[in-house]
Amino acid sequence: MSRKTRRWIFHIFLCLGIIYLKIGGFSSVVALGASIICNKIPGLAPRQRTICQSRPDAIIVIGEGAQMGINECQFQFKNGRWNCSALGERTVFGKELKVGSKEAAFTYAIIAAGVAHAITAACTQGTLSGCGCDKEKQGFYNQEEGWKWGGCSADIRYGLSFSKVFLDAREIKQNARTLMNLHNNEVGRKILEKNMRLECKCHGVSGSCTTKTCWTTLPKFRQLGYILKERYNHAVHVEPVRASRNKRPAFLKVKKPYSYRKPMDTDLVYIEKSPNYCEADPVTGSMGTQGRICNKTAQHTNGCDLMCCGRGYNTHQYSRVWQCNCKFLWCCYVKCNTCSERTEVYTCK
């Protein structure tokens, strides 16, 4: 209980600290405030505290990246019983899922990818000190394809290493759950790295491609969400393996009889089966589906039968109003009509 309380306090303070840093803005107050906040957060890993103190601007970006990961998670799972929420106070890093399930695997991967994505984007925009564009590529000419490196190529290596240093620093203990978290963090970062893309601009006369400049850029974060969702659907059940003399787990292997295969480095892994998420349960962290909106006619996961776990649903009527038949009039404004209709919404009992 004391450990849980300490962890809870850690998340609360980190969240408040980030809010305070945002309010304070970039000034000496930030440095002073950051130092006070970083020192007072109990349970913060030593390396995380060092990063927090030396890079208050990066902490803000880390918070935004984690939030982007959580938002994407909630989008990807919005139609499921589990919709990327958990019992307990909501913090910027999200509540740690108690069960080492597929859902926990997805959450850790998407947050690690979100932090790396946000750090890299901040470097590209120039809002983070100590990093910038990938200078190795600047000015070089691609002979075969006839374009030139230019613009601001995203320095993904910086974002990846920063995400790794900060997030993996939380996983201090040596147990199966820690190994699982470290693996899934790395999956998120690897998926991001593999999906970096080349963006080009044709800036010859009349926009022709006789003159062309290319740079590497981050993928859309939604694309990462879809890829990781696919990995989630094919997540691998693993179990820890202990070295002969040491009682602590050394690595993870696929949970199959007589199998010693390790998971691939882009496989999401889990060590426990998921709860059914039908009822609220503090032990598993399940929120339950009571009050969730469902689709009466759908047969998929957001259908009422499946979403409500057979408990039935309530019907609520309301009037939906929206702007319709919009026209752009010269120059320059938009004129719309107002439409409305009676409609129903269904929620689980």
Partner 1 sequence: MKSLASLSLWRIIILILPLVSLGQTFEYGWPDNYDKPPQCVDIPVDLRLCQGVGYHQMLLPNLLEHESMAEVKQQAGSWVPLLHKNCDPGTQLLLCSLFAPVCMERPIYPCRRLCENVRDGCSPIMAAFGFPWPHILTCDKFPQDDMCINTPNDTSTSEPNGHPPVCPPCDNEMKMDVILDHMCASEFAIKTKIQEVKRENMDRKVTLQKKKRTIKMGTLKKKDLKKLTLYLKNGADCPCTQLDNTRNTYLIMGRKVDKQYLLTGIHKWDKSNREFKKTMKKLKSHKCPAYENVFK
> Which positions lie near partner 1, rule CB under 8 A?
78, 121, 124-125, 139, 148, 150-151, 201-203, 205-209, 211, 213, 218, 220, 293, 316-323, 325-328, 330-332, 334, 336, 338, 340, 345, 347
- Cβ contact 74:282 at 8 Å: no
Which of 130/291 has CB closer to partner 1?
291
How far apart are CB 333 and partner 1 at their closest, in Å?
8
**For residue 86, what are its two tokens?**
């958990």
| Secondary structure class of 286 (helix, strand, coil) | strand
How far apart are CB 273 and partner 1 at their closest, in Å?
28
Amino acid identity for residue 18 in this structure: I
Which of 22/203 has CB closer to partner 1?
203
- Cβ contact 176:249 at 8 Å: yes
How far apart are CB 209 and partner 1 at their closest, in Å?
8
Cα separation, 255 vs 316, in Å, equals 46
Which of 145/239 has CB closer to partner 1?
145
Question: What are the start-end ranges of the H helices in the chain?
Answer: 2-24, 28-40, 46-54, 56-76, 102-125, 156-168, 176-194, 221-233, 304-307
Which of 42/146 has CB closer to partner 1?
146
Burial, 6: exposed, middle or buried (Cβ in 10 Å; 0-12, 13-18, 19+)? exposed
Which of 4/296 has CB closer to partner 1?
296
How far apart are CB 194 and partner 1 at their closest, in Å?
18
Task: Count other Cβ atoms within 10 Å, centred on residue 136.
Answer: 9
| Residue pointed to by tokens 């129903």 | 344
How far apart are CB 159 and partner 1 at their closest, in Å?
13
| Residues in a beta bridge with 199 | 215
How far apart are CB 166 and partner 1 at their closest, in Å?
21
Which of 14/128 has CB closer to partner 1?
128
**For residue 204, what are its two tokens?**
């010859």
| Residues in a beta bridge with 4 | none
